[in-house]
Amino acid sequence: MARVLVVEDDAAMRRLVTLHLESETHDVITAEDGAEGLRLALEAMPDLIVSDVVMPRVDGMGMLTGIRANIRTAAIPFIFLTDREDDDLRSRAKSLRVADYLVKPLDREDFLRAVSLSMRPRKARRTAPGAGTDAPGAGTDAPAVDHTTTAKMARRPEPAPPQPAPPAAESDDSAIDGTVWFFAIREFERIAETVGDDLQNELMSAFHENVLDVVSRNSGWIVKNIDGGFIAMFEDDGARLNHAERAVKAAILCVLALSRFGTWVAERFKRTDLPALAAQVGVHSGQVSVCSLSGGRSGRTIIGEAVNVASRLKAHAGELGWGIVCSDAVLSRLGPRISIGRRGRVSVKGRANRLRIAEVTALQPRPGIGQDPEGFYAGLASAIDANTRLIEAQNAVRGRGAHAPVATAVLAPAPFEPAPRAPVAVDGYRILRMIGQGAAAQVYLADHLLSGQRRVLKLVPLDNGEDCSMVGRFVREYAALMQINHPNVARVFQHGHESTHAYMAMEYFPGGDLRGLIRRGCTPDMAVRALIQLASGLAAVHKTGVVHRDLKPDNIMIRQDGSMAIADFGIAKRVGDLHGPTRHGDVMGTPYYLSPEQALGQQADYRADIYSLGVIFYEMLSARRAYTADSAMGLLHQHAHSPVPLLKGDLIRYQPLIDRMMCKQADERFADADGIIDFARACGFVPAP
């Protein structure tokens, strides 16, 4: 819309002001002091200057004096930012025709209102007859969204002053084929009720950077901030993927970003009353008119039916209890990597026929990269599913079920289509999609038809060629889990077999696994809380006489409420069992987390799991592996012979706990997992019960 020069020596404040302005599609240039600001004002001839008062070299008042003394820049509107009220400074600023004078910290809405009002006279002069520019031609379609009104991220009790009339938009030569999405954060206005408007706006600005990065990487652009969300546009630009597929991929990644952002916010503020954040997204492809409000991409907006339909689908996503809703126009352009869930039809205002829609549920790995390295794509699917569950829960609280009739949307029943890659149908379950695959087992997300709950189905073929031990391990895993009833151990509900496969129905964990949490970053408090939960779960496992033997972040699952559970007992073994899955000299488990005795092919007992938990705890604290090597044999050698790794800085307080858990000699470790909890409490890491 306009070019704004921001002059501010504080980098954080400069960035915040820039984000506020860019969210309103302004083109922003920045300077760190008054001298640089004067130079840029003459070069760029901005429509508005926003400046701090106190700065090195040339301060704000000195720069303003220079601006007013030059005939070329004398009429540029000017807003001062200051740390405190100063009547003398305000009087001097007024004499130099300062449009507004704002005291930090800035209120987003007040600041953007001041920006809009400051440029109002200048816009009037530019569009007046004889001002040197032609008025835009009449007859242009009105935008679906008012792109000059400030995006209100928080509700305010007082009425807003009249906004300036939006400048008429000039359409490009013709409409283009593109994909538009509307991304909205549910319950976002409640953040302001909890932490205040200013902090809410800062959080929105921080999340905006994540969305901007995702959209840009997928060759799209942010058109506009909307109430607690964003509008994005994707065009064909010669990229390998078409615009619809890039748009849906970006929407999926933004849902993942929001799930991580919500976790970060909750951890940062240490509060339990913050609302959970869920996204609802509407995606539609069609003809879009790109209109120019000022020069360059930052001054563009979009209009047309595709924009209106995407906006309606965003609303339907919330009403139906879905997360990402795409139209059939999008669906017809998607490749095999995009997984689709429920389907239906909705009524859309302005269209005679109901629109076919589909729910986006996952993004599959690219061909040729193997089976989901590090569980990234499984994490995407889990984030989308958790997002959908949260919307359904919010709808229930609001008194309307996910599939209840609504005024503008009616869900048409769609026939069940089994997941195309499911090797067998399991009686009593609706298989939705594959979420993981190992050497012998395939793992699927499924709905339990009787209870309506989500479950995980683990399938193992009964005839596995030469490897007959897989079914035996599968049975042992079920037997081990059935003995344990503890909140920090994964629950198993059912076991059986169909014609070609054995199956086990287990608890579903929408929060993903510990690997994902470590990747996002753990604070020491988070690491300690996780350690206590896992030690408690291990204690329960060991009391049944079972050793896990493959404890690693990928086998530690996270529930919706943040609690953790130990899973995957596929190579677990009962102590003293001579007929288990290993013999003396065999090495079983994951090399990064193996105990020294496992690395040496010796018999392992409970203390092997304690060592592995110590390695995991070290990784949570330091965000790096305890040992690294170029080969598996190199890792095994380090576990057996290298010193215990050392923590650095403030983390050194946890070193005694790491040392006890990761002792090379098993008899020097804690005798049992309860000892870990007792030691942590004695050191003051956790409060006494």
The CATH number of whichever domain residue 12 belongs to comes to 3.40.50.2300
In a domain, 26, yes or no: yes
Q: Which residues of 613-642 are buried (b: 16+ CB within 10 A; e: fewer)?
A: bbbbbbbbbbeeebbebeeeeebbebbbee
Q: Residue 153: inside a domain, yes or no?
A: no
Mark whether 267 and 339 lie in a shared domain.
yes
What is the CATH number for 661?
Answer: 1.10.510.10
Tokens coding 302: 């979009």
**CATH code, 194:** 3.30.70.1230
Supply 604's token pair.
Answer: 């392992």
* Nearest-angstrom CA–CA distance, 473 and 458: 13
**Rounded distance, CA 595 to CA 589, Å?**
9
In three state form, how does the secondary structure of 399-468 look? Answer: CCCCCCCCCCCCCCCCCCCCCCCCCCCCCCEEEEEEEEECCCCEEEEEEECCCCCEEEEEEEECCCCCCC
Same domain? 247 vs 389:
yes
Q: Establish if 582 belongs to a structural domain.
A: yes
Alpha carbons 313 and 310: distance in angstroms, whole number: 5
Q: Which of 587, 664, 591, 588 is nearest to 627 (CA)?
A: 591
**Whole-number Å distance between alpha carbons of 543 and 534:** 14
Q: Which two tokens stand for residue 54?
A: 């106190």
Q: Going by C-beta distance under 8 Å and a sequence separation of 6 or more, which residues neighbour residue 244?
A: 179, 234, 283, 285, 326, 329, 330, 333, 334
Q: In the listed set 95, 127, 159, which residue is the last one of a domain according to the structure?
A: 127
Are both 393 and 319 inside the same structural domain?
yes
Instruction: Find, among 540, 549, 622, 621, the residue nearest to 589 by Cα.
Output: 549
In Å, how far from its chain's centre is CA 583? 44
Whether this model's pTM surpasses 0.85: no
Residues 532 and 536: their CA atoms lie apart, in Å, by: 6
Helix, coil or strand: residue 323: coil
Closest by Cα among 10, 9, 50, 11 to 28: 50
DSSP H or E stretch at residue 502: strand 501-507
Q: Which residues of 368-400 are buried (b: 16+ CB within 10 A; e: fewer)?
A: eeeebeebebbbbbbbbbbbbbbbbebbeeeee
- Distance between CA atoms of 603 and 166, rounded to whole angstroms? 76
For residue 645, is it within any domain?
yes
Q: What is the dihedral of CA 149, 155, 158, 161, to 10 degrees?
A: 0
* Contacts of 18 by beta carbon, 8 Å cutoff, 6+ apart: 6, 28, 30
CA atoms of 585 and 601, how far apart (whole Å): 4
Note whether 523 and 662 are same-domain residues.
yes
- pLDDT tens-digit map of 192-228: 667 666 666 767 777 777 788 888 888 888 888 776 7
Which of 292, 364, 303, 345 shows the shortest CA–CA distance to 180? 303
Helices 60-69 and 34-44: angle between axes, nearest 10 degrees: 30
3-state per-residue secondary structure call for 3-64: EEEEECCCHHHHHHHHHHHHHCCCEEEEECCHHHHHHHHHHHCCCEEEEECCCCCCCHHHHH
Number of domains in the chain: 4
Same domain, 635 and 559: yes
Q: Where are the alpha helices (DSSP H) in 146-280?
A: 189-195, 197-217, 243-269
Q: Are strands 338-346 and 355-363 parallel, antiparallel or unpaired?
A: antiparallel
Instruction: Report how far residue 364's alpha carbon sits from residue 436's, in angstroms, rounded to the nearest whole number.
Output: 11
Residues 6+ apart with CB under 8 A from 377: 362, 363, 364, 365
Same domain, 84 and 233: no
Predicted local distance difference test score (pLDDT) of residue 659: 96
| Rounded Cα gap, residues 225 and 314, in angstroms | 14
Give the CA-trace dihedral at 680, 683, 686, 689, to 10 degrees. 90
Spans of the chain below 70 pLDDT:
1, 120-174, 189-193, 195-200, 202, 227, 237-240, 262-274, 292-299, 350, 367-375, 397-423, 437-440, 463-481, 569-590, 687-689
The answer as to whether 412 is a domain residue is no
> Closest Cα partner for 670 from 682, 658, 681, 687?
658
Question: What residues have CB less than 8 Å from 578, skipping those under 6 apart?
Answer: none
Contact yes or no for 182/282 (Cβ under 8 A): yes
Q: How high is the pLDDT of residue 588?
A: 41
Whether 667 and 533 map to the same domain: the answer is yes
Angstrom distance (rounded) from CA 339 to CA 434 = 10
Sheet with 501-507: strands ordered across: 429-437, 442-448, 454-461, 501-507, 492-497
Q: Do 481 and 535 belong together in one domain?
A: no
Question: To 5 degrees, how large is the angle CA 668–CA 672–CA 677?
Answer: 105
- Please indicate, yes or no, whether residues 471 and 382 belong to a single structural domain of this protein: no
Does residue 279 contact residue 186 with C-beta atoms inside 8 Å?
yes
Same domain (yes/no): 494, 557 = no
Q: Is there a contact between 243 and 359 (Cβ–Cβ < 8 Å)?
A: no
Q: Does a structural domain hold residue 139?
A: no
How long is the chain? Answer: 689
d(CA 184, CA 232): 11
Task: Check whether residue 491 and residue 523 sit in a common domain.
Answer: no
What pLDDT is recorded for position 123? 44
Tell me how far apart the alpha carbons of residues 220 and 246 are, in angstroms, rounded to a whole number.
8
Residue 536 lies in a domain: yes
Phi, psi of 131, rounded to the nearest 5 degrees? -80, -5
Domain boundary among 455, 488, 507: 507
- Domain C-terminal end among 397, 420, 448: 397
Return the pLDDT at 643.
95
CATH number of the CATH domain containing 443:
3.30.200.20
Domain match, 349 and 442 both: no
**Domain, as residue range, for 268:** 173-397
Does residue 152 lie within any of the structural domains? no
